[in-house]
Chains A and B, each alone.
Chain A
Amino acid sequence: MAAEDLPSEFDVVILGTGLAESVVAAACSRVGQRVLHLDRNSYYAANWASFTFNGLLTWIQQHHEESQPEEVQDWSSLLEEGEELIYLSYSDSTSISNLQVFCFTSEEDEGEEAQSPDPPNTTEEETAANGDEDAVKAASTDSTNEDPKDKIKEVTDGEGEGQQTADSEGVEPTADLPRPSAIQGQSEASRKKISYAQLVKEGRQFNIDLVSKLMFSRGSLVDLLIKSNVSRYAEFKNVTRILTYRHGNVEQVPCSRADVFASRQLSVVEKRKLMRFLTSCLEETEEQQAYNGRPYLEFLCDQQLGDNLEHFLLHSIAMVTEDTPTEVGLASTRHFLRCLGRYGNTPFLFPVYGLGEIPQCFCRMSAVFGGVYCLRHSVRCLLVDKDNRCKAVIDSRGQRISCSHFVVDSSYVATEQKKVTTPTRFLSRAILITDASILPSNSGQQVSMVTVPPIAAGFPVVMMVELCSSTMTCLPGTYLVHLTCQSVGSAFDDLSPVVTKMFHTPETDDQETRPSVLWCLYFNMADGLDVEVEGHNLPSNVYLCSGPDGHLGHDHAIRQAQLIFQKILPEEDFCPPAPNPEDVLYDGESLLPTGGGGGDNSGWGEKGEETKENPQTEE
């Protein structure tokens, strides 16, 4: 297939397929704008993407390779009278840093002959990063005869180097390359471990998100998905339980009425207190107002709820810190309670196949309404006229494409062009593949949100999500665990202490009862929270989308998208419902589905008015 040229005229050109950009694309196409949507990557969703296991290994490798500074080409021949050029950056070298990979499972299935045509001197760095099967076998042959203790040691050394890299700013990480270790013969014990070779072989069964967020059932993303009918492209699961880490144990947090009644860890008195507190919380009272500006913790203390309930309410329900003001704590408590019972017993939903599906769903909506999609394609520079408006862009093939508006992921914009008030903040991320749930249940198919308060003074609050295989994000028999916090140090510094406390790794000798970490990845990602849509050294019709932010929900990205849409098309409706397939066909009119219907009522004070489609089989 010969590479086709893109059309040369659009209303809106969008660069980057992250969540906010994709929502803008869908919204603009939906109301008839001609949209061109590009991404320099070969995959959708930028830093919101999800990857198969092998895809993730490739992503890791790409971030280890130093990006080749491409020659700046002279595009002045494409300039028209009075136009100026603004160059965009070729690659995103700043948003991801401090990658560290550890493999704590054996390379090969036990008892399986490791045969490899490759000479055994292949270095582990190369093989692990390649992630292809031959290479894995080679690495395994390589390590079969080595003492497992040595391998563990090597991993530990790797950590040390990683820390150094993290400390020295601006240095390309070189020492923290993936280092799988083989701990063979150690795990004959209870569980039969899944080998690294198996993870690679079954890699397609993983959908590993770069960001870890949940959808509040009454949050702006869920509302938008429903309003626009984009929801029909995806399926969701309830987060089934909320857990918290406390006194070295994982405990379930009772949040719905049913949970509170059923709870075995709460005394009768505590149950009564919690019921009363949660019910009274829903309305603003003078008593609450008296605490405005003072810490929520103080307010909770004065309610004399006791340590248990205080912990649950502060960390797991309000999900705030000890110094959060009372009015903020109460607002997020109310939001939590409002979200309960719309779909399930917790306030949260998770998309089947992972969060990376969501931007793709909005992209599809845009394509269905005529949006033109092109991956592996970027924009090199903007052509700006005398009135400081971007008239056209020059794409990576040197084609001039005119547009009235340009929307861009901020990672494509050079630092000099961006105005940011504060120095870039980072998020620390860890992704673990484990062999058991942190709180085993009968079905083994729980989706858990876990709040982890600071493990010691100076440590961050950690948000953890444990996904089971029925979310289609991991291989049956494994769990996918996402940890996220605001960076204090490098991702490894911030999160590995939590990992070693809650999981079994080679460093935590006698804790076989805990889930074992088979493989894990640490990295930092720039926090998109501080990036504004406008106000940069850019033409007035150019709008910036930030990457993912550190909040649990998606409000930030949706708000950004809505803001940009309103700047571009102030008169138009934002994502009106797309017609139903049946309506397109048979009557040509778009029927707006009506609201209403019953719902399970496990919430507090409000009746859930929404139901889920029950996937029942008719017989």
Chain B
Amino acid sequence: MAIRELKVCLLGDTGVGKSSIVCRFVQDHFDHNISPTIGASFLTKTVPCGNELHKFLIWDTAGQERFHSLAPMYYRGSAAAVIVYDITKLDSFQTLKKWVKELKEHGPEDIVVAIAGNKNDLGDIREVPMKEAKEFAESIAAIFIETSARNAVNVEELFQKISKQIPPLEHSEVDSNESFKLTRQPAASTRRCC
């Protein structure tokens, strides 16, 4: 089966559970005091999709979102972006628009956008109605799903939905001067993301 590498970047305020979602998806693990992914600039997980394998290269913000200092390079070549908010924090939902704008400014034009309302295990202290979030997602043609990284709810599904929205591979590229990564050893088989 063909492997396609897909870069996915995570966005959203600090504390909404971005790193926890990645950790749940990739390692099926949840830790209340998740150390901010020290050393892991991106994590990978491969999932089947139709007759392809999608290898997600998931870029976490590495904390650069905390003081609104994400670098444009963070978005380069992303096939998809997951914007996360915390259903128990109205603030984190209100800043969604800011992240959408940020993505419009710096992200690739054809990027697949998914909005994830995280911590849905804390329904009793919910501040963001699902309906409102869903409508907003529809208005920007984004995937919408509520997740719980803690209880492993809908995290797999989030990435499956993304997989399905990834447009099929184009075969048109005939650039004789392809771009490449600098490596020490020849990689057996790779494809640059998107």
Contacts and interface: CB of A to CB of B under 8 A. Distances in A.
Interface of A: 1, 4, 6, 44, 204, 222, 225-226, 231-238, 240, 343-344, 349, 352-353, 357, 360-361, 363-365, 367-370, 372-377, 443, 445-447, 470, 578-579, 581-582, 584-585, 593-598, 610-619
B75 to A, nearest CB: 10
Contacts of A226: 182-184
Contacts of A369: 38-39
A222 B69 contact: no
A353 to B, nearest CB: 6
Interface in B124-146: none
Most buried by A among B41, B42, B105: B41
17 contacts: A222-B182, A226-B183, A236-B179, A370-B63, A373-B63, A375-B68, A375-B69, A377-B67, A443-B177, A578-B39, A579-B40, A593-B184, A593-B185, A612-B180, A612-B181, A615-B178, A616-B190
Given A238-B177, A615-B178, 15 more contacts: A226-B182, A360-B74, A361-B73, A364-B41, A368-B38, A376-B68, A443-B175, A470-B179, A581-B41, A593-B185, A597-B186, A610-B183, A612-B181, A614-B190, A617-B169
Contact of B184 (A361, A443, A610): A610
A612 B57 CA distance: 20
Given A235-B180, A360-B72, A617 B191 contact: yes
B66 interface: yes
Dominant secondary structure of chain A at its interface with chain B: loop
A232 B37 contact: no
A169 to B, nearest CB: 36
A593 B77 CA distance: 25
Main secondary structure of the interface of B (DSSP, over half): loop
Contacts of B37: 368
B69 A374 contact: yes
Interface residues of B, number: 50
Given A368-B39, A368-B40, A370-B36, A44 B182 contact: no
A405 to B, nearest CB: 21
A46 to B, nearest CB: 13
Nearest to B65: A373
A54 to B, nearest CB: 10
Query: Which 8 A/B pairs are nearest by Cβ-Cβ distance?
Result: A612-B180, A367-B62, A374-B67, A360-B71, A231-B182, A611-B186, A597-B186, A360-B73
Interface string B55-97: 0010000111011110111101100000000000001000100
B192 interface: yes
